[in-house]
Amino acid sequence: MTQTPIQTGAYASRPTPWTAFLRTFLPWQLVRFAVINLRMLRMLSKSR
């Protein structure tokens, strides 16, 4: 029986500290909230 090594992310990409910081940085996320909503609405209108 061969055992598959469970992967641990040694070769995975990682976010830079700046990217990781922005993910929960309130002012930036308020902007992203608006942008994501607009992108979703745009996609919805294309689907209709």
Partner 1 sequence: MAKVMVLGAGIAGHTAAMTARRALPREHEVVVVSPKDAYNWVPSNIWVGVGRMSPEEVLVPLRPVYERAGISFVMGRAVELRPEGTPASPRPFVVVEAADGSRREETYDWLINATGPRLNFGATPGLGPDGETHSVCTAEHAAATARAFAACVADLKKGARRTLVVGTGHGSCTCEGAAFEYLFNVEYELRRLGARDKARVVFLTNEAALGDFGVDGLRLKSGGYVVHSRTFAESLFAERGVEWLTGAHVRSVRGGALEYETLEGAEGRLEFDFGMLLPPFTGVGLKSFGRDGVETTAELFAPSGFMKVDADYAPKPYEEWAPADWPRVYQSPRHPNLFAVGIAFAPPHPISRPRKSPSGTVISPAPPRTGMPSAVMGRVVALNTADRILGRETPARTASMAELGAACVASAGAGWLSGTAASMTMFPIVPDYARWPGVGRDLDYTFGEIGSAGHWIKTLLHHMFLYKARAQPGWWLIPE
CA 18 → CA 6, 14, 15, 28, 47, distances in Å? Answer: 29, 11, 8, 12, 35
Rule CB under 8 A: say whether 38 interacts with partner 1: no
Taking the complex as a whole, the smallest distance from the CB of residue 22 to partner 1 amounts, in Å, to: 7
Q: Which candidate, 3, 6, 25, 30, places its Cα nearest to that of 15? A: 25
Taking the complex as a whole, the smallest distance from the CB of residue 40 to partner 1 amounts, in Å, to: 5
16, 10 contact by CB (below 8 A): no
Rule CB under 8 A: say whether 29 interacts with partner 1: yes
Rule CB under 8 A: say whether 27 interacts with partner 1: no
Binding site for partner 1 (CB under 8 A): 1-4, 6-10, 12-15, 20, 22-24, 26, 28-30, 32-33, 36-37, 39-40, 42-44, 46-47
